[in-house]
């Protein structure tokens, strides 16, 4: 195992990132037993109430043992943006320090991490007046008509959106009408920019230690769980998904469908597992059934597992583009906790130590 890299110094926060099923939650809870900390969730699915089993949401007991933030803060009908996450997470870091505790950011929504570290300045700000005009058009013409309009000016974005995805269609048209540029082109430039551009060294240059990451004025360190053996992660994904079916994920989706105000046009219901289960139940309903056959359940599992593996692959791709991350082998399970604890001690001091004013950056 590598020795911990140099201190921030000091580290006002730690972040624990990794692909789905890599063991982030267990490690975070283990750290919470040794350091006074609060967890900030970096997960775009955990913000939604009622999506519990398929998101592997921390249990009530786990949330009682350590304070968690940015979980269950939205109804599934209420989208939550990366800009809102950056605002909320940055505010929370200061508030947690004010309570004499360490912020630990934990999750796998890499867009959120990139937005935290690189900012969102390259993407146009919201235009409330323009958005109101677009929503008025949608009431008159319907969102599918505006989706068709978007397909003419930004086919890349339109291709990945459902015709009733009001929030994203509205945002893409807003950007087009405000700038004359497709949202997909602006996003491509933002995503292609050197990840975590705070680094002063060229990407791949191992001769110079990366500059500390910052969230606002707060310096910190990113720990990245990356398995050396992809088969290990595939097996973890499969086992976790099977446990979710046993725990009642299909019934959870039935309950969400029964509400009557939800659908796959909402970001919440496009989460892996939920989308595939929703589609399977919809197909069964079209045949006059409420239950899935054994064959349909097997097919659902394979579709959901494949989608989850693709998600994990995308998460790892994002992480590998972040030069300041500290890579920890997620599949070295016998040594991983000790390695993470060494990193925490290098960042925060010995177990039990709380932050002091001397640890924190002066306001700028």
**Cβ(13)–Cβ(218) under 8 Å?**
yes
Residue 39, number of CB atoms within 10 A of its CB: 27
Indicate if 290 and 240 belong to the same structural domain. Answer: yes
Across the range 96-103, mean pLDDT stands at: 96
Tell me the pLDDT of the chain averaged across its residues: 89
pLDDT at 217: 87
pLDDT in tens, 125-157: 778 789 889 999 999 999 999 999 999 999 999
CATH number for the domain harbouring residue 167: 1.10.20.140
Asked whether residue 357 is assigned to any structural domain, the reply reads: no
pLDDT at 363: 52
Indicate if 224 and 238 belong to the same structural domain. Answer: no
CA dihedral 328, 55, 171, 256 (to 10 degrees): 180
Asked whether residue 295 is assigned to any structural domain, the reply reads: yes
Indicate if 177 and 208 belong to the same structural domain. Answer: no
Indicate if 178 and 292 belong to the same structural domain. Answer: no
Indicate if 34 and 164 belong to the same structural domain. Answer: no
* Whole-structure pTM value: 0.84
Q: What gap in Å lies between CA 305 and CA 303, rounded to an integer?
A: 6
CATH number for the domain harbouring residue 69: 3.40.50.300
Indicate if 108 and 32 belong to the same structural domain. Answer: yes
Whether residue 28 has pLDDT greater than 90: yes
Q: List Cβ<8 Å contacts ≥24 apart for 320-323.
A: 320/226, 321/195, 322/113, 322/114, 322/117, 322/195, 322/196, 322/222, 322/224, 323/194, 323/195, 323/196, 323/199, 323/201, 323/203, 323/204, 323/210
Asked whether residue 207 is assigned to any structural domain, the reply reads: yes
**Cβ(239)–Cβ(19) under 8 Å?**
no
pLDDT in tens, 255-284: 999 999 999 888 899 899 999 999 999 999
Asked whether residue 266 is assigned to any structural domain, the reply reads: yes
pLDDT in tens, 210-219: 556 999 889 9
DSSP string, 26-82: HHHHHHHTTS-EEEEEE-TTTTBTT--TTTTPPPHHHHHHS-EESSS-B-TTS---H
Range of the structural domain that residue 63 is part of: 13-118+196-229+323-350
The residue with greater pLDDT, 54 or 265, is 54
216 dihedral zone (left: phi>0; alpha: psi -120 to 50; beta): left
Helix, strand or coil, per DSSP, at residue 103: strand
Whether residue 6 has pLDDT greater than 80: no
Indicate if 103 and 217 belong to the same structural domain. Answer: yes
pLDDT at 46: 98
Asked whether residue 161 is assigned to any structural domain, the reply reads: yes
Across the range 180-199, mean pLDDT stands at: 69
pLDDT in tens, 326-354: 999 999 988 999 999 999 999 999 999 99
pLDDT at 3: 43
Indicate if 26 and 94 belong to the same structural domain. Answer: yes
Asked whether residue 316 is assigned to any structural domain, the reply reads: no
Looking at the structure of the chain, the number of domains it has is 3
**Cβ(57)–Cβ(71) under 8 Å?**
yes
Across the range 89-93, mean pLDDT stands at: 96
């Amino acid at each position: 195992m590598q020795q911990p890299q140099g201190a921030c110094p000091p580290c006002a926060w730690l972040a624990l990132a990794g692909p789905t099923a890599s063991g982030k939650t267990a490690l975070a809870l283990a750290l919470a037993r040794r350091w006074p900390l609060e967890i900030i969730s970096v997960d775009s699915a955990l913000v939604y109430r009622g999506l519990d089993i398929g998101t592997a949401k921390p249990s009530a007991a786990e949330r009682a043992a350590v304070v968690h933030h940015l979980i269950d803060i939205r109804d599934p009908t209420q989208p939550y943006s990366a800009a809102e996450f950056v605002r909320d997470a940055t505010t929370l870091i200061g508030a947690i320090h004010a309570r004499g505790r360490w912020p630990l950011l934990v999750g796998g929504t890499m867009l959120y991490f990139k937005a935290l570290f690189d900012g969102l300045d390259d993407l146009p700000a919201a235009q409330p007046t323009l958005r109101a005009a677009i929503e008025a058009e949608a009431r008159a013409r319907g969102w599918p008509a505006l989706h068709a309009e978007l397909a003419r000016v930004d086919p890349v974005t339109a291709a990945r959106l459902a015709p009733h995805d009001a929030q994203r269609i509205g945002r893409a048209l807003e950007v087009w009408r405000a700038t004359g540029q497709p949202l997909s082109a602006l996003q491509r430039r933002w995503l292609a920019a050197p990840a975590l551009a705070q680094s002063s060294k060229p990407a791949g240059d191992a001769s110079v230690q990366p500059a500390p990451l910052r969230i606002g004025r707060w310096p910190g360190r990113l720990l990245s769980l990356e398995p050396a053996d992809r088969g290990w992660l595939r097996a973890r994904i499969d086992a976790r998904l099977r446990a979710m079916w046993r725990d009642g994920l299909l019934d959870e989706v039935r309950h969400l469908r029964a509400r009557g105000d939800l659908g796959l046009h909402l970001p919440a219901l496009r989460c892996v597992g939920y989308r595939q289960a929703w589609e399977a139940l919809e197909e069964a309903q079209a045949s006059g059934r409420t239950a899935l056959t054994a064959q349909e359940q097997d097919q659902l599992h394979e579709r959901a597992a494949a989608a989850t593996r693709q998600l994990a692959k995308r998460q790892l791709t994002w992480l590998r583009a972040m030069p300041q991350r500290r890579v920890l082998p997620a599949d070295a399970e016998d040594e991983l906790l000790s390695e993470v604890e060494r990193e925490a001690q290098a960042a925060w001091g010995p177990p039990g130590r709380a932050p002091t004013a001397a640890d924190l950056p002066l306001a700028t």
